[in-house]
Copies of this chain bind each other. A is one copy, B any other.
Amino acid sequence: MQLAKVIGDVVITRKDDNLTGIKLMVLQPIAADGSNIGRTLVAVDAVGAGVGETVFFVRGKEASFPFYPTEVPTDAGIVGIVDHWDLD
């Protein structure tokens, strides 16, 4: 899983039926020191995250677990909103 900032959302015209009603957010992954790392991506949201919040997200089929039994065709999903993290 990676930490990320929610930086936007996506409006879709046509999509797979199993994505109906699901919010799609644009994420910028961040490193443990808070700096941006890697590509922006689009993720489904299972926890009600808003633009500007720090979240953590999963990649892969696991991203669809929170929507079970709907088989959401996604490979990235927000699964938690971060309060803070501590480094050694």
- Interfacial residues, chain A to chain B (CB-CB below 8 A): 1-3, 6-16, 18-19, 24, 26, 28-29, 31-33, 37-44, 46-48, 51-52, 56, 58-66, 68, 71-77, 79-88
Write out the residue numbers on chain B whose beta carbons fall within 8 Å of the beta carbon of A15: 47, 79-81
- Complex Cα distance, B66 from A82, in Å, reads 24
- Complex Cα distance, B79 from A12, in Å, reads 10
- Complex Cα distance, B56 from A73, in Å, reads 11
Given contacts A31-B39, A42-B1, A43-B1, contact A73 B79 (CB under 8 A): yes
Write out the residue numbers on chain B whose beta carbons fall within 8 Å of the beta carbon of A40: 31-33
Q: How far is the CB of A72 from chain B (nearest CB, A)?
A: 8
- Complex Cα distance, B87 from A27, in Å, reads 10
